[in-house]
Structure 1
Amino acid sequence: MLCIHGGAGSGKTLAVNVCLRGLEPDEDVRRIAFRARPTARAVRHELFTALDLAGQPPRHPSEFDGPLKTALAERPRTFLVDEAQWFNGEAFEYFRYLWDDLSMRLAVIFVGGEGCYTVLRREPMLFSRMFIWQHVTRLAPDEVAERVPLFRPVWAGADPAGIAFADQHAAHGNFRSWARLTAHVRLALARAGRERVDRKVLGWAFGRLGGFA
């Protein structure tokens, strides 16, 4: 089990998905996400659905364990559990319960926001089983200068000073913000018939973004 955590828009889920495709392209990866605080029953239902088990989900929680364990023992599987900061102790405990079964070859990757580490830290039995903790932070200015030109061709020929200006006033080292800005910059270049990013193009793109400073 491992945990990837960091601020919103830092590229955590994208990075995990890209790495999984690169490392294990044929691996059986099941992606699970909750947008509110799930109960253990909700976790069981989601796992039942994610594993494509036949029939209707059982009515009683104890009836889930047999089908889930049978399916998980068939072959190695990876659960990518997104928005893990929403979980409570009961929900986390169910993942630990499945992972501890020696008949299974199960990897669990928890991905969550900045509060994810704090939430998991409150669950000592699960916390002690974590093999890797990876904190994803904003890109530093030198990382922006190095990596943004590799992100999309539109930035490859851009003036480094322009990239630094865009990061300072709009993207702020946030990967999702860079993705949004890139989409607007490409549109601006197409509409203006330009080939290179300059301050005028950036100004037009900034006008389409909220909250830049």
Structure 2
Amino acid sequence: MTTLNSTPSAPHYLSLPDARPVTTQAVRAATHALDNALHEQSMMCLTADPGVGKTFTLYILCEQRPTLPALRLLPRPQARPEDLRHSLHHALNLPGDPPQDAGICDDYLRHALARPPRLLAIDEAHQLSASCIEYLRYLHDDPVPQVTILLLASRPRLRALRSQRALLSRVATWHYMEPLAPDEVLTMLPAFHPLWQNAPSRTLAHLDDMWGHGNLRRWAALTHQLQAHRRRHPGHLPDPGALLRRLQPRLAPTS
């Protein structure tokens, strides 16, 4: 299980040079939902289709709240409760190695989580085992830890979380992030990357209809291809179809 307890600048897919974070309607809606969860110290699930920007949104939310202690964990598939305990121990910067005794380790964690109020964010939460879900239930129900639990899960994998009865009655908010609306694409893309600042609206609309579908990861891949074209052909604007052909999988010729 990987621990991510710092708050670096929000990363872009493919580490695009000159890409800038943009606050979309979906990010604002997720921010509002998280504010309510933080106020209630409840459990929330943030879900979206792959590439819409769940993890990116988490970085943005943490950057907007620099005084909020945030613990961000990325579990490996079927992580065990002891993996979760050890990751929390390191994320909280507790001294020494995590105690081998689960009860003693839990006492240390409960004391460390007592104050200040914290956000515990679990990315790719659909990978959690049932026993880890039960451990999160334990942290949620215990009155000592002052923690808001945020679960991030891909929408196609959401069934794995919803099948956990321990979560169904405890997740106060199941928040779905919408892709960019077609009209929002026209305003967000020029703000996202300078390569799109002078692109005609009809070109952006065509590319979104044929490829982007309001998905930030797909638009990042398209921007990456545009950058590569500009390096090879400075000053020459590519045909949108040429960009799309580089992104579409090619079928092997049949004999």
* Interval containing the TM-score (normalised by the shorter chain): 0.7 to 0.9
Query: How does 1:110-129 map onto structure 2 within 5 Å?
Result: 110-129=151-170
Give the aligned partner of residue 9 of structure 1: 51
Say if 2:188 is the partner of 1:147: yes
Question: Structure 1 residues 166 and 40, CA, compared in 2 at 3 Å: closer, same or farther?
Answer: same
Q: Shift of the alpha carbon at 1:68?
A: 0.6
Rounded Cα–Cα distance in structure 1 between residues aligned with 2:232 and 2:238: 15
Equivalence for 1:42 = 83
CA distance in 2, matches of 1:147, 1:69: 42
Instruction: Give, in whole Å, the separation in 2 of the partners of 1:126 and 1:59.
Output: 27
CA distances 1:96-155 after superposition (whole Å, capped 9, x unpaired): 211222222211110011245322322333222222211124334333334323322221
Q: Which runs of 4+ in 1 moved over 4 A?
A: none
Matched, 1:211 2:252: no
The question of whether the paired residues in 1 share the 8 Å contact of 2:133 and 2:166 is answered with no
The Cα RMSD (Å) is 2.2
Report matched runs for 1:166-205 at 5 Å: 166-194=207-235, 198-200=237-239, 202-205=240-243
SS in 1 for 2:171: coil
3-state secondary structure, aligned to 1:4: strand
- What is the CA deviation profile of residues 135-181 of structure 1, one whole-angstrom value per residue up to 9, with x for unaligned ones? 12433433333432332222122111211222233323321111121
> 1:162 & 1:211 partners in 2: Cα distance?
22
Counterpart selection for 1:160 from 192, 201, 216 = 201
Matches of 1:165 and 1:199, distance apart in 2: 14
Q: Deviations over 1:5-29 (max 9, x none)?
A: 122111111112202321x212111
2:101 maps to: 60
Query: How many positions carry a matched residue from both structures?
Result: 208
Residue range with higher mean Cα deviation, 203-212 or 125-134: 203-212
Q: Aligned-pair distance for 1:65?
A: 0.5
Cα shift at 1:94: 0.8
SS where residue 112 of structure 1 aligns?
strand
Residue 101 (structure 1) aligns with: 142
Counterpart code for 1:11: G
* Letter in structure 1 aligned against 2:129: N
Q: Which runs of 5+ in 2 are unaligned?
A: 1-42, 251-255
Q: TM-score, normalised by structure 2?
A: 0.73
For residues 155 and 76 of structure 2, the distance between their equivalents in structure 1, rounded to whole angstroms, comes to 15
Distance in 1 between the 2:70 and 2:248 partners?
36
**TM-score (norm: length of structure 1):** 0.86
Structure 1 stretches lacking a partner, 5+ long? none
Amino acid at match of 1:13: T
Residue 111 of structure 2 contacts residue 144 of structure 2 at CA under 8 Å; is this kept in 1?
Answer: no
Instruction: Tell me, in whole angstroms, the C-alpha distance in 1 between the residues paired with 2:210 and 2:125.
Output: 31
Q: Aligned residues: percent identity? A: 32
Find the counterpart in structure 2 of residue 135 from structure 1: 176
Q: 1:80: which partner in 2?
A: 121
| Structure 1 match to 2:29 | none
